[in-house]
Structure 1
């Protein structure tokens, strides 16, 4: 269990992020086409998991926009925007923002949040994901993790992208 804050008040996650150097936990997430997408869907590619509570909040929207901009030029890399939003809302958000270099994926019918240790376990936010970045290399090894300490803050983009 990890402790983070929201507006300075503590809250806990259900576990810990996967360890750097470990095999990435397998996952199944739902695409905007309502198709199950797995870790093997992106075999041989580097994967940036931009995990956010909801694309419908200003900080989550900002981080998705920034990863769309900053990671769009990276070779052999996909940016996955993972949230609890339904695929319809994710699709609408990406279309309205003209975001073409991130792939929105929903946790709504998966165990991803628990498997990656990011489910908020208490307070009125329980069930949503904490804000985190996990980067997985082309061999499905975790090469970077960042659990953002304050839910209202954006991640450290430069540190995350420096590993790529």
Structure 2
């Protein structure tokens, strides 16, 4: 399976549709439903195909179905989520639940995150990218990034 990598900004048309970026469509090939979860920390939606949803189901299966933990996680992953049809041209309609949570109006920033991708407003994505880069730079300075069994930061050579 491929990974969702990179980012791009696409316009939402008058009917509320937006084209999924071509590299992302390739990974989703053969799937007609996009599974969407609303991020609980940021105004962003996280989306993926059936493998993304299967991974979330597996998380739930490990929990006691009568526990509070299960109650909240199942609500987060299922009850407060969305499923969106991917049309034959690789477009999706940005649903009201996604619009309300993310603030998306006329443009969508698609951001690859490996096994899933995110849907941001371009402004929120730009702000988060700036924050993430600053945090990574701080971690590199403090050598807190772990890469396997080594302590060196990505981009640096192990001595």
Larger Rg: 2
TM-score in terms of structure 2 length: 0.28
Say which structure, 1 or 2, has more relative contact order (CA 8 Å, 6+ apart): 1
User: Greater share of helix residues, 1 or 2?
Assistant: 2
TM-score in terms of structure 1 length: 0.27
